[in-house]
């Protein structure tokens, strides 16, 4: 029931209804459940309501979280801080290549 899909806002119909492109040419009218949404924004849509915006900055923060995890495990397993950071940096660099493609 809590499945949500990414979509692109196509138009704002009223103060509470927007049209979104769910992909593959599927356009749906949905309720607006977030502040300051505008055409062109990427959003998450669940059961006909926009629950949150989706941003590249958020994806970068997400990747930083995983990079910190990688570094932490390497440190727990006995690697020096420098070596552990190198492993995390390598992951982050590769991930950013995808995000910039």
User: Rule CB under 8 A: which residues touch other proteins?
Assistant: 1-4, 6, 15-17, 23, 28-35, 42, 44, 46-49, 51-52, 54-56, 58-59, 61-63, 65-66, 69-70, 72-73, 76-77, 91, 95, 98-99, 101
Nearer to other proteins among residue 12 and residue 91 (C-beta): 91
CB of 47 to other proteins, least distance (A): 5
Return the exposure string of 41-63: e unless at least 16 CB atoms fall within 10 Å of the residue's CB, then b: bebbbeeebbeebeeeeeeeeeb
């Amino acid at each position: 029931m809590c499945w949500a899909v990414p979509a692109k806002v196509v138009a704002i119909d009223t103060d509470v209804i927007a049209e979104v492109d769910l992909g593959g040419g599927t356009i749906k009218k949905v309720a607006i459940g977030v502040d300051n949404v505008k055409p062109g924004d990427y959003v998450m849509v669940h059961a006909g309501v926009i629950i949150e915006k989706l941003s590249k900055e958020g994806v970068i923060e997400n990747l930083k979280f995983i990079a910190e995890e990688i570094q932490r495990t390497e440190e727990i397993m006995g690697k020096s801080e420098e070596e552990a950071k190198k492993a995390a940096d390598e992951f982050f660099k590769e991930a950013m290549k995808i995000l910039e493609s």
